[in-house]
């Protein structure tokens, strides 16, 4: 900054000079006699000056950043600091932003803003409760397992059923050999679709299975009825989707399929569809796209359908978690999404 102006007398001519902090330098004046540049040491390097409308010298801009005290008292009225300063007038931008960090004009924001309550999109959510629930449906979301709706199947006396925040938890205590246990509801011999979302909590000593099941008659003949299971089979480090028949709760009879999964299954959607002649089995990883796995025509007519867990692990407790249970009084097509509902996302 130029702190003062002095004049050197040469006859009647005054040569203006300015002090740039270290020495006096000659000044170049404009037509009105206002200093506009300060010459360098060699007389050729010009340093720009700024004057106000009264011709008073305000700022000397040089290639060297001046000491902070030289700017005291000047920036607050004439300039805006990059940090911590306040503008006293409106800022006008040259146009709309083109990159992420550009400032945006008010008009641009007004044109692109979403008003509160504006619908952004509808998202199909298979886990959401249906708008019209079937009497057999259960969302397992009230922290109390509904024993009026469900009948326990537990001839081996290994089952404990709770309803934590995660869903219905079917827990089977330590057992040597198969021991099917579960919760079931009565059905008629009419076409239907039932499905659920399952996951497992376990320490595997041998293997465990959990999923959905059909009972020949688990109420009148719990210890001798046929059972068909469709679920997730977990061994030590291996995962399968399996379909199996038991001649009673602890006697394996036949395996329809075991499909190994190459990665751990944190959750899976399982579905039975009865067409009137066969029981179709589908599975899904997201509840939207379903994969047909098999169709069976059991020698028995099932009286109950529901959820099961089978613990074949000695010294461990197996737990199957069921996020929901859904039932429709007709057989769906394999590509049809299950009965969830749209989730409306608003701005």
Tens of pLDDT along 100-150?
888 888 888 777 776 776 666 677 788 989 888 999 999 999 999 999 999
Confidence band of 45 (pLDDT split at 50, 70, 90) = low
Confirm if 126 and 340 have CB atoms less than 8 A apart.
yes
DSSP count for the chain of H helices, then E strands: 2, 22
Domains of the chain: 5-82 (no CATH), 151-346 (2.60.120.200)
| Rounded CA separation 16/5 (Å) | 7
Closest by Cα among 10, 14, 12, 15 to 26? 15
Over 80: is that where the pLDDT of 167 sits? yes
Coil, helix or strand for 69?
helix
pTM over 0.75: no
Q: Tell me the pairing of strands 291-296 and 279-284.
A: antiparallel
Report the pLDDT value the prediction gives residue 1, as an integer from 0 to 100.
41
| Angstrom distances, CA of residue 40 to CA of 17, 23, 71, 207 | 12, 10, 21, 89
Report the pLDDT value the prediction gives residue 5, as an integer from 0 to 100.
44
The alpha carbon of residue 114 and the mean position of all alpha carbons in its chain are separated, in whole angstroms, by 22
Report the pLDDT value the prediction gives residue 276, as an integer from 0 to 100.
87
| Rounded CA separation 337/54 (Å) | 80
| Angstrom distances, CA of residue 50 to CA of 2, 54, 56 | 10, 11, 8
Angle made by CA atoms 149, 150, 152, in degrees to the nearest 5? 155
Confidence band of 9 (pLDDT split at 50, 70, 90) = very low
Confirm if 275 and 296 have CB atoms less than 8 A apart.
no
Coil, helix or strand for 328?
strand
DSSP letters of 146-180?
-TTT-EEE-TTS-EEEE--TTSEEEEE---SS--E
Q: What tens digit of pLDDT does each residue of 307-339 get?
A: 999 988 777 888 899 999 999 998 888 777 777
Sheet holding 57-60, edge to edge: 5-10, 13-19, 24-29, 35-39, 46-51, 57-60
> How many CB atoms are closer than 10 A to CB 2?
21
Average pLDDT over residues 37-59: 56
| Angstrom distances, CA of residue 259 to CA of 178, 211, 278 | 19, 15, 20
């Amino acid at each position: 900054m130029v702190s003062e102006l002095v004049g050197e007398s040469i006859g009647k001519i005054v040569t203006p000079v300015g002090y740039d902090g270290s020495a006096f330098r000659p000044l170049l004046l404009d037509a009105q006699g206002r200093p506009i540049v300060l010459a360098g040491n060699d007389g050729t390097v010009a340093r720009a000056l700024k004057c106000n409308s009264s011709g008073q010298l305000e700022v000397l801009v040089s290639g060297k950043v001046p000491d902070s005290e030289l700017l005291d008292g000047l920036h607050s009225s004439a300039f805006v600091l990059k940090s911590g300063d306040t503008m006293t007038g409106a800022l006008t931008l040259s146009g709309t932003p083109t990159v992420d960090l550009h400032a945006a004009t008010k008009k641009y924001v007004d044109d692109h803003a979403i008003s509160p309550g504006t619908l952004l999109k509808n998202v199909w959510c298979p886990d959401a409760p249906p708008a019209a629930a079937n009497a057999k449906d259960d969302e397992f979301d009230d922290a109390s397992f509904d024993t009026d709706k469900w009948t326990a199947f537990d001839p081996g006396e290994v089952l404990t059923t709770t309803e934590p925040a995660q869903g219905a938890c079917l827990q089977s205590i330590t057992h040597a050999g198969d021991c099917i246990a579960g919760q079931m509801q009565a059905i008629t011999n009419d076409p239907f679709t039932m499905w659920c979302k399952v996951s497992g909590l376990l320490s595997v000593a041998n293997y465990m299975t959990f999923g959905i099941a059909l009972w020949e008659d688990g109420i009148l003949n719990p210890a001798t009825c046929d059972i068909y299971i469709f679920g997730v089979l977990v061994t030590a480090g291996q995962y399968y989707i399996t379909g199996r028949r038991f001649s009673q709760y602890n006697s394996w009879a036949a395996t329809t399929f075991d499909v190994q999964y190459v990665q751990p299954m944190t959750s899976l959607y399982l579905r039975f569809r009865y067409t009137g002649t066969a029981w179709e089995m589908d599975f899904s990883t997201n509840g939207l796209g379903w994969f047909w796995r098999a169709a069976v025509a059991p020698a028995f007519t099932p009286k109950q359908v529901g959820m099961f867990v089978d613990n074949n692990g000695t010294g461990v407790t197996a737990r199957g978690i069921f996020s929901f249970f859904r039932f429709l009084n007709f057989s769906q097509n394999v590509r049809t999404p299950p009965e969830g509902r749209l989730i409306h996302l608003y701005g």
